[in-house]
Copies of this chain bind each other. A is one copy, B any other.
Amino acid sequence: MEMNSIFEKFGIVTDLAVEAHSLVRGDAQTEIPGVIESKEKFDIAEVTTIIIENPAAGSLMGKAPGTYITIDTPGLRENDPPLHDKISEILASKIETLLKNLNIADDAEILLVGLGNWSATPDALGPRVISHVMVTRHLHKYLPQSLGPGFRPVSALSPGVMGITGIETAEIIRGTVEKVKPSCVIAIDALAATNVDRICSTIQIADTGINPGSGVGNQRMGIDINTLGIPVIAIGIPTVVNAAIIIFEAFNALKKEIPGFARQIQEPTLNQIADKLLAPFGGDLSVTPKEIDTLIDNAALCIATALNQSLHKAVGKENAHLFLQ
């Protein structure tokens, strides 16, 4: 499990439970006790559900216990709105599944939170989703006659990142939760993957909230039931791979090619090489595709459509477009 030392050294975690699971299972793909993985096939997507049953399994996986659903769907990268509508439908049904698991009623109030930095493209997924999603809480409160049946109260917040606010994001959300008193928070965040293949082609939904250290912007405090007092569903899409990961993936591939390589060259030497190559920005370098601006715009619309559909009975797959902002 050499990757772990790398993760520790560079403060990198994979935000994806499927990647963590595969990593922990290792080349032999041994079963991990307390972790259940199952798969569903759709014509446009493969959905993997990983349930981490207990803290012991969570500790092995470096993830909180709970349910992690991963939708793998390379079509999300294509510029094909009708295909994105189909992805939104799958995502919407999975959000509904998690809300049901958490016993959130159909009319219970939800607070959406867009994590990340509006003005740093690869970290802007959350705020962009917020700018597209329908909010109804103020209408319920001030103009109830303007809403037909089938719309629950939904509010939304883009709190910003600590470098711009000076405040832990979790604190701003907690303060708002205490005023708004929703039944559940759904937090959207840009994730870091360990494989470029996952950039803007994977969507992860989890009922465990956001762990400290996760996301492109690296949350300091968790955003979960422990910090907020209410359940938190997290929706994330990988938008970057840390540049250090790319180097170590290359070294790992080499190890498999050259017998004895692992003995010949020590971990510390590899660390030194990566350190030196990436030093100028404190290792804080990301790998992104050139078309990242477009990819993130499309992904944000796809998530916003799914949220509108899953949160309001009155919004179906045929009319979901009508409620995008």
Contacts and interface: CB of A to CB of B under 8 A. Distances in A.
Interface of A: 79-82, 118-123, 130-131, 135-139, 153-160, 162-168, 171-172, 174-180, 196-197, 199, 201, 216, 243, 246-247, 249-251, 253-254, 257-258, 261, 264-265, 269-270, 273-274, 276-281, 284-294, 321-322, 324-325
B281 A257 contact: no
Q: How many copies does the complex hold?
A: 4
Nearest to A290: B284
B80 A166 contact: no
Contacts of A288: 285-286, 288
Contacts of A251: 250, 254
A259 to B, nearest CB: 10
Contacts of A253: 273, 276-277
Contacts of A246: 243, 246-247, 277-278, 287
B179 A171 contact: yes
Contact of A279 (B123, B175, B197): B197
B269 A265 contact: no
**Is chain A's interface secondary structure helix, strand, loop, or mixed overall?**
helix
Nearest to A156: B165
B247 A280 contact: no
Contacts of A167: 137-138, 155, 157, 176, 179-180
Given A120-B293, A121-B121, A293-B120, A321 B82 contact: yes
Contacts of A277: 196, 246, 249-250, 253
Contacts of A160: 130, 157-158
Contacts of A163: 135, 138
A280 B197 contact: yes
B175 A178 contact: yes
A285 B285 contact: no
Contact of A289 (B130, B247, B284): B284
Given A121-B121, A137-B166, A324-B79, A273 B287 contact: no
24 contacts: A80-B322, A81-B324, A119-B131, A120-B292, A137-B166, A154-B166, A157-B159, A167-B179, A171-B176, A172-B179, A174-B175, A174-B179, A175-B175, A175-B177, A201-B280, A243-B246, A246-B277, A247-B250, A257-B273, A281-B289, A284-B290, A286-B287, A286-B289, A287-B287
A258 B321 CA distance: 49
